[in-house]
Amino acid sequence: MIPVLGYEGRRVAVLGLGRSGLATARALVAGGAEALCWDDSVEARERAEAEGFALHDPMAPEGFAGVACLVVSPGIPHLYPEPNRVIERAWEAGVPVDNDIGLFFRSLGQGDWMEFDTPPRVIAVTGSNGKSTTSALIHHILVENGTPCQLAGNIGRGVLDIDPPEDGGVIVLELSSYQTDLARALTPDVAVFTNLSPDHLDRHGGMGGYFAAKRRLFAEGGPDRAVVGVDEKEGRSLANQLVEDPEDMRLIRVSSGQKLGGPGWNVFARKGFLSEYRKGRQVASIDLRDMAGLPGAHNHQNACAAYAAARALNLPPRGIEAALRSFTGLPHRSQLVRERGGVRYVNDSKATNVDAAAKALQAFPRIRWIAGGMGKEGGIAALAPCLGSVAKAYLIGFSARDFALQIGETPYEICETMEIAVAKAAAEAEPGDTVLLAPAAASFDQYPNFEKRGDAFVAEVEKLA
């Protein structure tokens, strides 16, 4: 646990008592604060009370009297589409609003770890797609090269629930826009921006607000090194804002699919080869093509970002390459479930938006595509250029018929359920085909989350064996 510092003897309200909320309450108490806990869910309040936490309704009269700070869970909207009423009450009372990420950075900076020979460092990863894989890959590279490392944030453990870092330790954080948008302190040593595509736009009041939430990771604290994907205009704009001149080595630009030039520090992948250039000269190259845990151009982009973050900590290229080769990937993210009769079955349930699905559809030569669920605004018409490798689509869920109208001449079948889709795709697949779950939609019509949807796909594939 990372005890929260700076609130000793003071009252701090905690709103939202899920995983991060309860971890925050524990860390506040460990740091000497009094945690006042609340959640609209009776069950959540009962769990907190069973741990001995005081329940306190901030909407009660004088609910913010004597409260030094309100800490809210990431899922609670604080501005768009409408502010949560408790947050509005905090504004009226002049009580600062923060989240567990802000408390983490505030407390890490005040700890006694600066007395170590090598102070702990934090690598924070944000972006629309690939941030989980990139974060896990950075963690894997560091561990494989003997660096004490913990993975936390939007993946792994809650940030305040991890162990105090040891001498020379590194903490890798995956941070969503919900987390970066509100944190009052953001001071990573290395910050990574993977890419940007439309997502969570209602929560951020549009694309500009969404990008602004991501940009805060680089603007608030000023990382020592910034790794920025420049394949979209937002990334190029961010990279430009971070440099003093073209040779500024505090920035590492990253791309998948284009060669990056100029006198700065660049890492890019083309035709399956990762290259690192500094001051116009190539210093390393890695063949990614046969790495089973990193299929497709989108995973090559993840590999470039992870490689760049590891190089920012001075790890050697050959050590990074060995770790890349041993990486097996994450569940639900281009996860190879099984190969049977020359047919691969790949679970990319995390491809919940058009951009992520497009990357998955470009990773394999001949695809039996399982798609559908709760479609997002704009549908999937933008996927038309990526459907050339799709032999047939097997559509499931609420938006199955809407999707069928948007895929042009691509053969399709309305399957409704995962069970039917997998069985149909398996029956029609030929050697060399890939049965790919890349839904391009949310899961909430049939499953509580993308993980459960991916588990359902895996279960149906296992039945085939």
Domain assignment present for 104: no
What are the tens digits of pLDDT across the range 300-328?
A: 999 999 999 999 999 999 999 999 999 98
Q: Give the closest residue to 460 by CA, choosing from 428, 420, 431.
A: 420
How far is the C-alpha of 324 from the C-alpha of 102, rounded, in Å?
31
Instruction: Over range 327-349, report the average pLDDT.
Output: 90
- CB distance 326 to 365 below 8 Å: no
Domain assignment present for 201: yes
User: Do 233 and 267 belong together in one domain?
Assistant: yes
What are the tens digits of pLDDT across the range 426-448?
A: 999 999 999 999 999 999 999 99
Domain boundary among 280, 301, 326: 326
> What count of Cα atoms within 13 Å lies in the side-chain half-sphere of residue 400?
18
What are the tens digits of pLDDT across the range 157-193?
A: 889 999 988 888 999 999 999 999 999 999 999 999 9
Query: Which two tokens mark 178?
Result: 């919900």
CATH of the domain at 71: 3.40.50.720
User: Do 306 and 188 belong together in one domain?
Assistant: yes
How far is the C-alpha of 385 from the C-alpha of 390, rounded, in Å?
11
Split into its structural domains, the chain has a count of 3
73 is in an annotated binding site: no
pLDDT band at 256 (very low <50, low <70, confident <90, very high): very high
User: Do 280 and 360 belong together in one domain?
Assistant: no
User: Do 351 and 436 belong together in one domain?
Assistant: yes
Report the share of the chain in percent with pLDDT over 70.
99
User: Do 365 and 407 belong together in one domain?
Assistant: yes
319 is in an annotated binding site: no
Domain assignment present for 19: yes
- What mean pLDDT value characterizes the chain? 93
Domain assignment present for 167: yes
pLDDT at residue 149 is higher than 90:
yes
179: domain range?
A: 109-326
Domain assignment present for 300: yes
User: Do 38 and 168 belong together in one domain?
Assistant: no
Domain assignment present for 1: no
Alpha-carbon distances, residue 305 vs 138, 230, 308, 336 (angstroms): 9, 11, 5, 22
User: Do 119 and 238 belong together in one domain?
Assistant: yes
Instruction: Over range 354-367, report the average pLDDT.
Output: 91
User: Do 361 and 407 belong together in one domain?
Assistant: yes
329 is in an annotated binding site: no
pLDDT given at position 293: 85
Domain assignment present for 4: no
Cβ neighbours, 10 Å, residue 384 = 14
What are the tens digits of pLDDT across the range 24-79?
A: 999 999 999 999 999 999 999 999 999 999 999 999 999 999 999 999 998 899 99
How far is the C-alpha of 399 from the C-alpha of 379, rounded, in Å?
9
128 is in an annotated binding site: yes
Question: What are the phi and psi torsion angles at 366 (to 5°)?
Answer: -140, 120
pLDDT at residue 388 is higher than 80:
yes
What are the tens digits of pLDDT across the range 103-135?
A: 999 998 766 666 788 889 999 999 988 899 999
Domain boundary among 307, 326, 345: 326
Query: Which two tokens mark 372?
Result: 């559908």
pLDDT given at position 154: 86
User: Do 344 and 368 belong together in one domain?
Assistant: yes
Enumerate residues 6+ apart whose C-beta is below 8 A from 426: 343, 345, 435, 461, 464
User: Do 17 and 113 belong together in one domain?
Assistant: no
**Among 30-39, 243-252, 331-340, 364-373, whose mean pLDDT is lowest?**
331-340
CATH of the domain at 212: 3.40.1190.10
Classify strands 97-98 and 121-126 as parallel, antiparallel or unpaired.
unpaired
131 is in an annotated binding site: yes
User: Do 254 and 160 belong together in one domain?
Assistant: yes
- CB distance 217 to 180 below 8 Å: yes
147 is in an annotated binding site: no
180 is in an annotated binding site: no
- Helices 296-312, 317-326: axis angle to 10 degrees equals 140
Domain assignment present for 241: yes
H helices present in 172-260, as ranges: 177-180, 201-204, 207-219, 233-242
pLDDT given at position 441: 96
Bigger pLDDT: 200 vs 390: 390
pLDDT given at position 113: 67
pLDDT given at position 115: 77
The reported pTM is 0.85
What are the tens digits of pLDDT across the range 403-414?
A: 999 999 999 999
Instruction: Over range 77-91, report the average pLDDT.
Output: 93
pLDDT at residue 336 is higher than 80:
yes
User: Do 117 and 214 belong together in one domain?
Assistant: yes
- 3-state secondary structure at position 450: helix
pLDDT at residue 348 is higher than 80:
yes
Domain boundary among 45, 67, 98: 98
